[in-house]
């Protein structure tokens, strides 16, 4: 019988073995550490991206709100001199008293004129959506609420967004027209538009705070303009009661209530005369992030419009106050 040849083992016996349990555990641990590091880096980058996106959106909302408010407040009292008019009738009768101190008998006017170009409230006007004009507004809101403001000006197709052939209010609806006739000059009649826009903060049906506007188109209701605007605070730079608007400096900044009650201003004939002393408006809005963005342990504290720190918010949203100051250029005419 032939003998069976001997079985030859590999020269390197260890090459034929698998990983030992210790080696496998070490490999798994190293892989887990790498996976955790990669996940942490991803989560950190994702969190930073969400924070950046939230801040960017919040900045855009705030700048949009400030831009709208500043543009509208800057227009308050617009009543330009018209071409081809006798000097005594250069301006349309937008406000009372009549322009250039012309007597009421000098004009025949259709439509209701207002004595106010601008009027504010510490809180929201109680009848902000129903008052016929700025004269009829009543400030009954609590001073702890966001402020509200109303402006009026002579409008045209260039200083508003036109609605068809008409000038538009803050919502793009056609502004009401007024007409006047007068006895002197090349042109003895005029038809013109007057805008009356009112701005305030209100929550939508979904609970989102918005900057709202109510224009003076009789068929249009108030509409939101910018979302996630949580607060609006206004202060008014006034000249002294005895000064003239042509050269007077701002004597100080007052709240809407103080414009009416400050001792020297309170001595004037009426609220319209008091508000006519306002030369500048400081506008501050507080914007919040669209959704909760902060970690559970992070502070949602922010500085309010008055400079005080608010640490009471627990909804994990970002908040920031944004401010600008507007000169009422039409007071300098």
Residue 49 has what pLDDT? Answer: 73
Q: Phi then psi for 259, rounded to 5 degrees? A: -60, -35
DSSP 100: G
Provide the 3-class DSSP secondary structure of residue 301.
coil
By DSSP bridging, strand 189-203 and strand 148-155 are antiparallel
Q: How far is CA 74 from CA 236, 291, 309, in A?
A: 13, 33, 30
Residue 141 has what pLDDT? Answer: 67
Structure tokens given for 54 = 């939230």
Residue 101 has what pLDDT? Answer: 46
Angle at 257 between CA 255 and CA 263, to 5 degrees: 95
Angle at 135 between CA 80 and CA 323, to 5 degrees: 70
Name 163's bridge partners: 166
Nearest to 160 by CA among 68, 52, 83, 49: 68
Residue 179 Cα to chain centre, angstroms? 33
Q: Where are the alpha helices (DSSP H) in the chain?
A: 21-75, 256-261, 263-266, 271-275
Residue 181 has what pLDDT? Answer: 84
**126/294 Cα distance (integer angstroms):** 36
Residue 187 has what pLDDT? Answer: 64
pLDDT tens track of the chain, all 333 residues?
Answer: 555 555 555 555 555 566 677 777 887 888 888 888 877 776 666 666 778 899 999 999 999 999 999 999 999 999 998 887 777 788 888 888 765 445 555 677 777 788 999 999 999 999 999 999 999 999 986 778 999 999 999 999 889 988 888 899 999 999 988 888 876 656 678 889 999 999 999 999 899 999 999 999 988 999 999 999 999 999 999 999 888 766 788 999 999 999 999 999 999 999 999 999 999 999 999 999 999 988 876 778 999 999 999 999 989 999 999 999 999 988 755
By DSSP bridging, strand 189-203 and strand 319-327 are unpaired
Nearest to 200 by CA among 125, 137, 255: 125
HEC sequence for 214-271 = ECCCCCCCCEEEEECEEEEEEEEEECCCCCCCCCCCCCEEECHHHHHHCHHHHCCCCH
Residue 37 has what pLDDT? Answer: 80
Q: How far is CA 139 from CA 71, 134, 170, in A?
A: 23, 11, 21
């Amino acid at each position: 019988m032939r003998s069976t040849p001997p079985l030859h083992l590999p020269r390197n016996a260890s090459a034929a073995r698998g990983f030992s349990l210790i080696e496998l555990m070490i490999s798994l641990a190293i892989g887990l550490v790498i996976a955790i590091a990669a996940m942490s880096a991803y989560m950190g980058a994702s969190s930073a991206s969400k924070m950046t996106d939230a801040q960017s959106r919040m900045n855009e909302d705030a700048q949009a709100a400030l831009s709208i408010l500043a543009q509208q407040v800057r227009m308050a009292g617009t009543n330009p001199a018209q071409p081809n008019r006798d000097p005594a009738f250069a301006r349309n009768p937008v406000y009372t008293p009549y322009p250039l101190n012309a007597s009421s008998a000098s004009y025949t006017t259709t439509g209701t004129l207002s004595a106010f170009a601008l009027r504010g409230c510490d809180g929201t006007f109680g009848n902000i959506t129903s008052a016929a004009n700025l004269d009829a507004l009543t400030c009954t809101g609590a001073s702890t609420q966001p402020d509200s403001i109303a402006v009026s000006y002579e409008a045209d197709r260039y200083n508003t967004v036109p609605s068809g052939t008409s000038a538009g209010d803050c919502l793009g609806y056609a502004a009401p027209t007024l007409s006047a006739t007068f006895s002197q000059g090349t042109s003895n009649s005029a038809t013109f538009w007057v805008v009356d826009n009112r701005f305030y903060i209100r929550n939508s049906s979904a609970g989102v705070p918005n900057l709202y506007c109510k224009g003076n188109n009789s068929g249009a209701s108030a509409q939101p303009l910018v979302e996630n605007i949580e607060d609006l605070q206004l202060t008014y730079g006034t000249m002294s009661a005895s000064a003239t608007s042509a050269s007077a400096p701002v004597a100080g900044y007052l709240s809407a209530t103080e414009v009416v009650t400050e001792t020297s201003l309170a001595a004037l004939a009426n609220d319209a005369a008091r508000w006519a002393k306002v030369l500048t408006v400081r506008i501050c809005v507080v914007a919040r992030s669209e959704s909760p963005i902060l970690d559970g342990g992070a502070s949602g504290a922010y500085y309010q419009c008055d400079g005080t720190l608010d640490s009471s918010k627990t909804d994990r949203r970002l908040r920031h106050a944004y401010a600008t100051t507007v000169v009422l250029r039409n007071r300098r005419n």
